[in-house]
Amino acid sequence: MCGIVGYIGNSSVGPILFESLSRLEYRGYDSAGIALLNGHGIEVHKRVGKLKGLIEGTSQLPLRGHLGLGHTRWATHGEPSETNAHPHLDCQGRLAIVHNGIIENYRELKERLLDQGHRFQSQTDTEVIAHLVEHYSRSLSLRDAFRKALQELQGSYALCLLATDDPERLYGARLGSPLILGIGKNEMFLASDVPAVLGRTREIMYLNDREVVELSQNSLQISTLDGNPIDRQPSRIDWDIACAQKSGFKHFMLKEIHEQPNTIEQTILNRLDWQIQQVRFDERTNHFLERLSPDEQFVIIACGTAYHAALVGEYMLEEFAEMAVDVDLASEFRYRKPRLNRHTTVLAISQSGETADTLAGIRLAKEQGAKVLSICNVVGSSVARESDAVLFTHAGPEIAVASTKAYTAQLTVLALLTMYLANARQLLKDPEKLQFFRTFRKLPELARLALNAEADIQKIAFFYADSENFYYLGRKYNFPSALEGALKLKEICPKIHAEGYAAGEMKHGPIALIRPGWPVLFIATDSNVYDKVISNIEETRARKASCVVIASEGNRSIRSYADHVIEVPKTEEIFSPILTAIPLQLLAYYIADLNGCDVDQPPNLAKSVTVE
């Protein structure tokens, strides 16, 4: 959904913009552009395609200056082309702007500006902002013209603006799309996300909706749209640059898959109180949970992979905490008329904390008097700030577009939350409680053991790399795992059509497509529906499907039902989706890599969907 950066400082602006943009490329990569003030005016460079093309195409240029902005695009309005790539300029080339978001009323604004004589170059919604600021700057200072223009915009934006008439300042503003400020030594940054600035500073400030910021090399001033100053202190980020780099792995996705033992451990750390055998969160969250009513109802909302985590959460909370739980896609929930009340907790799950539909769902929940708890990976993100309490996943920055470590961290938090609530409601007997606590402690090691199947999975991937279709089937806790496995493959290997189903649904339709050799992956780990899954395997084998089965370690008999077996460590059913996710991620990764796919930045996708 586009990455934007802005820089003002005493270093040469070109390399800094490129370095920052390279850490935001996961947000969009169909074109890239930069603009800098070079002492004579605004210098703009744009290329269609990835940032690499722009860097190579400008490698012989000095790109000097101390003020600049950059953009990596995921097209919403206007095809990916050099003309539509950002930055966009006004008629006179005196100001440049980059934008992440959607201006919903751009057509009316454009017509008005065309009538006033403005000339447009692109089909984008963004260009109207440049002309609107130009229009107002004829009678107002740049600062006031920017504010005035912002007041007319409907939709969402994170913006960064520079102008020849104000060469010592950079301006930013936000409504609905993320924007952070990085405070360095004699330099300041604006960016869509923290990794963009981690190479230069860890002092960060978050801009809120309807706030404007004015940056000089050594100062910053945040204010409301009406011009009222806001006092805010920076926070120090504990991620370092190594977290945002590949550390020798071929792709970020593979690195992030391998990080899971550690991210699961970080997510559990300090949350198990062995003395009283209860889960503990931060004070605010404990307080929130303590006040839930005995008949509290949970409605879990999320998108994509986080939605699959939500589906697993439903099974967990229903079975152990005996709660009434509904799960909805945030993009559907926001347009429904849900029956919420003060005994409803809307639990929003989001890695980025900036997904537009999830945020809209949170706002609807609040309007209707429900409480909002969230599971989120990014401290300071919009979801985190707008929730009454937050359960953070401590997965660190997730860069690959396909979510992996954030998913297993979300499942871990859901299991912790389930334990907390089940315990608080006195629904667990002591031996059961102890057993769960022991498994939590072992989980990082179990995840490490699940990674041991990697070499086998590479061989299996080789066998299926030329497939055109893939079914993923599972039941109960591992039905969402099947959905997630299929999503991973279709996201990163668009050559293969993959679908996930509840295994029991096969006979109601999807089985019609099965032909000899059709690949079907089953998740058949130990559970009380194991025998049912075996029957489903038989049904597909009767139609000569080729079966890959993920089974619990030590299951010898499964080999007679499967063409290929992937083993995961044995565990209680509630934890099994955390472990089965790992081979599913690895299989998708190796199939995609064998097909030469762009694993970290698949076509048509972007991380953090900040538009509707």
Q: Contact residues for ligand F6R (CB under 6 A)?
A: 303-306, 350-352, 355, 358, 402-403, 487, 491, 608-609
- Do the beta carbons of residue 418 and residue 393 sit within 8 Å? no
Are the C-beta atoms of residues 401 and 605 closer than 8 Å to each other? yes
| Ordered DSSP codes for 515-574 | -TT-EEEEEE-SSTTHHHHHHHHHHHHTTT-EEEEEEETT--GGGGG-SEEEEE----GG
Q: Which residue has the tokens 């707008």?
A: 386
Our answer to whether residue 459 is catalytic in this structure is no
Q: Tokens 């006004």 map to which residue? A: 90
- Shortest Å distance, C-beta 357 to ligand F6R: 8
Q: Chain-centre distance of CA 595, in angstroms?
A: 25
Tell me how many degrees the CA angle 388-390-392 measures, rounded to the nearest 5: 170
Q: Which of 525, 505, 512 is nearest to 575 (CA)?
A: 525
**What is the distance between the alpha carbons of residues 162 and 17, in angstroms, rounded to a whole number?**
14
> Least separation, in Å, of the C-beta of 586 and ligand F6R?
14
DSSP, collapsed to helix, strand or coil, labels residue 316 as helix
- With respect to ligand F6R, which residue has the nearer C-beta, 351 or 467? 351
Active site residue 607: yes
Picking from 47, 143, 113, the residue whose alpha carbon sits closest to that of residue 86 is 47
Distance of CA 548 to the CA centre of its chain: 29
Q: Give backbone dihedrals phi and psi of 605, rounded to 5 degrees, phi first.
A: -110, 165
Whole-number Å distance between alpha carbons of 7 and 68: 5
Question: Least CB distance from residue 362 to ligand F6R, whole Å?
Answer: 11
Helices (H) and strands (E) in the chain, counts: 18, 27
Q: Which is nearer to ligand F6R, 352 or 546 (CB)?
A: 352
Amino acid letter, residue 401:
V
Of 298 and 436, which CB lies nearer to ligand F6R in the complex structure?
298
Nearer to ligand F6R, 260 or 305 (CB): 305
- Coil vs helix vs strand at 52: helix
Query: By three-state DSSP, how is residue 386 classified?
Result: helix
Instruction: DSSP for 264-292, please give it.
Output: HHHHHTT-EETTTTEE---HHHHHHHHT-
What is the rounded distance in angstroms from the CA atom of residue 363 to the CA atom of residue 368? 9
Handedness of CA 602, 606, 607, 609 (dihedral sign): negative
3 state SS of 206: strand
| Residue 146 CB partners (closer than 8 Å, separation 6+) | 133, 136, 161, 171, 173, 212
First to last CA, the chain: 10
CA distance 596 to 590: 10
As annotated, the active-site residues are 2, 607
